[in-house]
Structure 1
Amino acid sequence: MIFTTNEKYEQAILSTLIHIQTHLEADLKLDTLAEHAGFSAYHFHRIFRESIGEPVKEYVRRLRLEKAAYRLKVSEEAILRLALESGFKTHESFTRAFRRQFGVTPNEYRDHFLRASNARKKQIQPKYIADFNMKDESGLLPNGSTSKQVRMENARQIIVAFIRHVGQYEKLLDKDSPMSLLWEELFTWGNANGLINADSLLIGIPQDDPSVTPPEKQRFDICVQIPEFRNPSGHIGCQTIPAGMFGVGRHYGSFDNLADTYVHVYDSFVTTGKYNLRAQTPFEVYSYSNVKGDIRIHFTDVYLPIEKKKQNKGD
């Protein structure tokens, strides 16, 4: 197959972005990434900056710090461990970089979100419904509501084809959202390659925490399950959702108030003190119907990666 120059660049950059997000703790120097992409360091630096809008070094540093900020919010991991996992050699160098990025020290950042979490618990609860099958008086599922029921699921590895949307998550909820068009493009590509069928899962992966990452840089991967890994094709990429244990909650209807379902699952498993949140990206699985290319979402299952909390001796 003969690719145009732009297609070759798109595929190389997309492959590199997936490599970066799955190897943030590894050596991600310019020369290493350029070799991965198949370009000289000079050429790769130029096309990366043109495509992403940030130099490679700054992009990697930002993702590492944002991941550390997220872990500070949701875990009890030692700051030194987070620093080392973020590619910093000392607690001090990590603290300086973190302060430059977020305006506060890691300790101050963690304390702020701990206070906010405690205050949130006292606020009004989301609009719950009793169980997955409950309907209102009209016989319809309440729109934009969260089921009180949650479940734990040991999910298998899932391979997905995806198109990445970069920009404010809330824009995907707009009337003129590109989400349906992007899924239609994925279905067209998947059908042409014999990779999808009526049982293929429709999945969304919010790669960033919207309370951490600036709106214009938030990454959301619109995905469809495929049976085997494929190399990138233009701006359609491929990635793997690792197997593992997940806490799962269900959200009905439109994406309004979807954040409430994330909070409910988190509170049901992590806030209780029985589980920790694993360092894996959450994802969403959509129950849908495809009516002549029109994707209609009925409910959304939110998957939060969890692990059993280790008990200290004597507990």
Structure 2
Amino acid sequence: MKPSTERDYHKRIARVVEAILDDPGAPHTLDSLASLACLSPFHFHRIYRALTGERVVETVQRVRLARAAHRLTVADEPVGNVAADVGYGSPQAFSRAFRGFAGVSPSAFQLRQRRLTSPDADADADADANASSAARLASDAQSTPVVQIVELAPFDAVCLRHDGPTATISQTFRTLRMRWRQLVGDAVSENVDGHTVGICTGDPEEPGTFVYFAGIIPGTPVASIAPTELSGELETVRVAGGLYASHRLVGPYPLIASTFQALYGGWLPHSGYEPDDRPNLELYRSKPLPDQRCECVTDLMIPLRKE
């Protein structure tokens, strides 16, 4: 497929994803989505799954649950209300789906996010959390800090700029891996797991402000790659390094946005630090199998000013 044709297909599917993001509870029919993508209904589902790696119904569920995660982070309201607002007919169905998505129950997730947004909050005050989850989370809070202050050395990344909603970032990483494989060969490209990074500025909720680069941190210096080999979509991005607040998220990637929100709204104002004029980083430490998405390990990094 020609690069221009491939980009056109990705833009068509991105329009579909944006429509789902705007209203995940809407009755998204095959005909309406295929029409939006200007594709034949006979082939739409195959093309969508080939480019996104999932079915439309899976995208809808993921967007609903990501929206629920955001609500559980920023709003102090009963889990049942959140379930109804994101389109689930019963709290039981929502709880099952959310546990499969995040690896914990909605109540336990709400408690965990409350630890980020209100560092001094008493975990026992959350009546919705069951006793075992509260005890485990309280124990975790005592044994390891939620946020660590770390110093990163500068590094270079071979990057592909993302164009579209955050829900399609995985597509950009798939394209990046394909371009990287073409550049360095299959043997080298197989070793990128644990060496991928997201470099981002702005707010994904504010149109026009969010800039995201999907990157691979090469095992060899980027300078050893001829500039002509990086022509086209790939480019080298220099990460300056420095002081960062680091939070390790163990959970599916759609939780990244709500976790960053919790860090900015809760931890940062209480920390005594100020953010520096550098991009945030998402350091992807693992590449779980499809049935282990709730076990993804990502280090979320907010740059800090040195005193």
TM-score (norm 2): 0.46
Bigger fraction of residues in helix: 2
TM-score (norm 1): 0.45
Bigger fraction of residues in strand: 1
